[in-house]
Amino acid sequence: MEPLNRIQRNLGTIRERYGVARIGIFGSAVRGEATPASDIDVLVEFREGEETFDHFMDLTFYLEDLLGRRGDLVIADTLKPAIQDAVLSEVVYA
């Protein structure tokens, strides 16, 4: 899981710069089904008071640069009930 390894190597920067409490990947990258064209599904929890539009957008762009592909950043608190259990059961945190 190279995307997770890249996030782990940059975890200090991610936490400090963007106010992240926890971050992980889920979806095709975790299941081993990702193709070179796949995006990377990323679940993030921000520290209290750090969940801002700027942090969200800046983190999205940072992760796309870091991972070399498009990312789909999802805030854990905004998961729809219909998919929440599935996402939380497969997320692998950095």
* Residues belonging to the active site: 39, 41
At 74, list the tokens: 């999802």
H/E stretch holding 41 reads: strand 40-46
Separation of first and last alpha carbons in the chain: 11
| DSSP string for residues in 66-84 | HHTS-EEEEEGGG--HHHH
Q: How far apart are CA 52 and CA 65, in angstroms?
A: 20
